[in-house]
Amino acid sequence: MNIVSEDNALKIIADQDFTIANAKEIQAQLLTTLESVKSDTQNVLLDLSKTTLLDSIGIKLVIGLLKSCQQKGLTLALQVASPAMMKVLQICKISQLLDIHEVAGND
């Protein structure tokens, strides 16, 4: 994962799939990233545009990140490039919990 901090926003760029195969590694990276957030940060963007797979454990990771952000008073949004991933997030009603931005990309 790559982290970009600009103004009052933090962008987490995922470069791997969010699946059971690497869930522990991703969770540890996300928690470490949130622990190091600057006090003036208000928004977090999880960029999944390079991610091709998102299974149920990956969705659980996103929800866990959302809860952690809320506890810190941060707003979380997602960025996805795959229409299929967008559809999964809509079916799981994740789109009702946070903003999801679809960008041109993978599919």
Per-residue pLDDT tens digits for 38-72: 888 999 999 999 998 999 999 999 999 999 999 99
pLDDT value of position 81: 92
The pLDDT of residue 7:
84
Other C-beta atoms closer than 10 Å to the C-beta of 68 total 19
* Residue 41 burial by Cβ neighbours in a 10 Å radius (0-12, 13-18, 19+): buried
Predicted model pTM: 0.91
Task: Spell out the domains of the chain, with CATH numbers in brackets.
Answer: 9-33+46-102 (3.30.750.24)
